[in-house]
Amino acid sequence: MNYYLITDRTQDGDHEYTDYIPVRSKKPVSEWDDNWCTLFLFWQYCINWIEGDDLWSDNRIVRVDAIKEITKDEYETIGRLTECCFIWEQIAEDGAENLKEFKEDE
């Protein structure tokens, strides 16, 4: 099993907010889909439109800032503190479904 901490950022005018999402995966990040950041953001946020490389959610730009490999113990500790741990394969599936719905609505 592989463990990661994904950092995403929301820019709302002059304000920025950061989330840290612990994720486990059967595959290393090097084997994830090339568009994994997009899938993650479509899972994490309600994406309203895409402009160039920017994804927007309710007039806020959202993006993935970083992904860092962490240990199983770190993953479990973050999970206990935040009461949320996620599985990449489920995120990717849900993100792909949200992306598909977005494209159908265009």
37-55: pLDDT as tens digits: 999 999 999 999 999 989 9
d(CA 97, CA 102): 9
d(CA 79, CA 93): 21
Asked whether residue 7 carries a pLDDT value surpassing 80, the answer given is: yes
**2, 26 contact by CB (below 8 A):** yes
- Provide the token pair at 71: 């240990």
Asked whether residue 82 carries a pLDDT value surpassing 90, the answer given is: no
Q: Return the domain boundaries, the chain.
A: 2-105
Secondary structure tally for the chain: helices H, strands E: 3, 6
Question: Can you give the pTM of this predicted structure?
Answer: 0.92
